[in-house]
Structure 1
Amino acid sequence: MSDGFVARSLEETSFWSRIMKEHSLFLGLGFRAEDTVLIKEANHFYRIFEDIERRVHSFSLDVDPVTIQQFNQEVHTAVCHIWAFKRKVLGLILSCKLPGQTNFPLLVDHVSREANYFRNRLEELNQGKLEPLYDAIIDENVFFLRIMADHAKFIGHLLDPSERKLVEQAREFSQDFDQLLFQARDIESMRPQSQTGPILNQFLDQNRVSVKSLRDFKKTARDLIDQCRIKSIIHPLLADHVFREAERFLEIIDMFENSLTGKGNNSMIHH
């Protein structure tokens, strides 16, 4: 196993197990009162990932890597199960078998994409795979730009329509990140010719500017919701949830830039 395997495994699982736990809560809140089986399943996953989150914080960095490899496999199994649950829910919604529930289909697809990302991460950590830096830069940005674009759309739809200025700002962010995603996919399709230092540096710089703006918008919205100063149906935890994911994307962009400029290394970059 590569250097940093334990630290990276614990860091990834700490972040994403909390995300999976919160997904369970949000999905459960969106079901109808009569959807007792689905609510029970969502609560079951909440408890599973709450326990994983608790356990991951009990490990120290000097733990035996084999123990963490086994833990990663256990977490991977749980993530596979919640991914299947999310896809089942999406199928029920799209076949009109849950009329009146309030989980957007795109939101359910969104949370299943994040589960798929997490399980792939666990697999590659355990297998000791290291994606080449230039490939990782493109793939991570394609993934996270779509996540950010989705967030902007969800915020715009969950704010009260009377919050016209904030709704318009969310719409503008949605359009901005859609364009950034299209650009990222163009760079992706131009591989390997597009994988030059100058092009990827500009790619990261441009994305950082927009992610910082969105992160700040999310922070403002979260604080206003906490203070009961705006009208919305956004759960306070959801507001913090999307803020944390923007923060993580910025950390990843900074890590990539440091690797490109020689200020760091890409030993922690897996995809």
Structure 2
Amino acid sequence: MVSVSLFVTRSLDEVRFWSRIMKEHALFLSLGFSVDDKKLIQEAQSFISLFEKIEQQLNNYSAISDPEEIKRFNIQVYQAAASIWAYKRKVLGLILRCEIVSNNYALLVDHTSREAAYFVNRLKELNAGKLEPQADDIIRENVFFLKIMADHSKFIGHLLDPSERKLVDQAREFSHDFDQLLFQAQDLESMRPQSETAPILDQFLDQNRVSVVSLRDFKKTARDLIDACRIKSNIHPLLADHVFREADRFIHIIDMYEATLLSNNP
């Protein structure tokens, strides 16, 4: 009964968080196209509508919803996430082949497609009954999110006005720090610790948590300054909040993995 309840609550949490992220990705991509790319803009807008409908459907479910109904909902959302992933990869190909001129960085489009692929995989895992993380999951998940955080730092540095020298320098420092954490995580992934209780995983998570908290606080400051029009940048206010929420999500995931390690090694 506990696993059934956990399946429902985790499914709804993943869909609630990532559907909003997918909807915002579609908005950001649409804003970056030129006026000539009408079809791409229309496709992006259709994804905004699609994920808004999914968000509305979420209101019909709760922690006591029928698990079979949630499984069917997950399949529906899976199809939407897979579709936006394919759209993002198509846009990336157009940019790399110089078939369109876009204000969306190629790395940003690739970044958003990786998040769509992550969402697709999470839904697949949930419907397969995979609820509890294993050691490999901890490392792989951190590799994914450390890359996301490194990307965010690069985007922020490039979208700030060059005259915001102190903030640009801070973003570059975060980019370097998270690149190093990513390389370290990839080395650990190659070593593949065999036990969830391996002490190295505790240290790994602690180190990452400290860095992510610092980055999240930097993003929060940047978001608040952008909202108050106190810094010069090309960063959309919603994008500033978007990257803040993703950092906060990473901290939540680290906390979950730390709790799992603690329960396995009382």
Q: TM-score range by the shorter chain?
A: over 0.9
Tell me if structure 2 keeps the 8 A contact 1:255–1:264: no
Report the counterpart of residue 142 of structure 2 in structure 1: 141
Q: Which amino acid aligns with 2:141?
A: E
After TM superposition, list the pairs within 5 Å mapping 1:28-177 onto structure 2: 28-99=30-101, 101-130=102-131, 132-177=133-178
Corresponding letter in the other structure for 1:128: G
Give % identity. Answer: 69
CA 1:136/1:193 → structure 2, altered by over 3 Å: closer, same or farther? closer
Displacement after TM superposition at 1:47 (Å)? 0.3
**Match of 2:143, as an amino acid?**
V
The one-letter code sitting in structure 2 at the alignment partner of 1:13 is V
Q: Does the CA-based 8 Å contact 1:224-1:230 persist in structure 2? A: yes
TM-score normalised by L of structure 1: 0.94
Provide the rounded CA distance (Å) in 2 between the counterparts of 1:164 and 1:137.
Answer: 36
The one-letter amino acid paired with 1:240 is: D
1:116 and 1:262 mapped to 2: Cα distance?
30
CA shift at 1:192, angstroms? 3.4
Question: Following the alignment from structure 1 to structure 2, what is the Cα–Cα distance between the partners of residues 169 and 129?
Answer: 39
Give the letter for the 1:168 counterpart.
D
CA distance in 2, matches of 1:70, 1:157: 41
Q: Which ranges of 4 or more aligned residues in structure 1 deviate by more than 2 Å?
A: 129-133, 192-197, 262-265
Question: Residues of 2 paired with 1:6 and 1:248: CA distance?
Answer: 19
Matches of 1:180 and 1:102, distance apart in 2: 29
Distance 1:33 1:66, change over 3 A: same
Please tell me the residue identity of whatever aligns with 2:91.
V
1:268 matched residue in structure 2:
none
For the residue of structure 1 that corresponds to 2:162, the secondary structure is coil
Alpha-carbon distance in structure 1 between the residues aligned to 2:133 and 2:225? 41
Corresponding residue for residue 250 of structure 2: 249
Tell me by how many angstroms 1:133 deviates.
2.3
Tell me if the contact between 1:18 and 1:49 (Cα under 8 Å) persists in the aligned partners: yes
Q: How much has 1:262 moved relative to structure 2?
A: 2.2
Tell me if structure 1 keeps the 8 A contact 2:133–2:257: no
1:269 aligns to what?
A: none
Q: CA deviation at 1:263?
A: 9.0
Amino acid at match of 2:134: L
The C-alpha deviation readout for 1:164-188, integer Å capped at 9, x for no partner, is 0000000000000000000000000
C-alpha separation between the residues in 1 aligned to 2:113 and 2:13?
20
Matching residue's letter, 2:83: H
Paired residue total: 264
Cα displacement (A) at 1:63: 1.2
Aligned to 1:212: 213
- Post-superposition Cα deviations, 1:188-240, rounded to whole Å, max 9, x if no partner, equal 00013586521000000100110000000000000000000000000000000
Going from structure 1 to structure 2, the CA distance change for 1:132 and 1:226 (only over 3 Å counts) comes to closer
Alignment of structure 1 residues 4-15 onto 2, 5 Å: 4-15=6-17
What is the root-mean-square deviation in Å for CA atoms of aligned residues? Answer: 1.7
Counterparts of 2:178 and 2:261, CA distance in 1: 23
> Which ranges in structure 1 are unaligned for 5 or more consecutive residues?
266-271
Q: Which consecutive unaligned segments of at least 5 residues does structure 2 have?
A: none
Deviation at 1:132, TM superposition (A): 4.6
| Counterpart AA for 2:192 | R
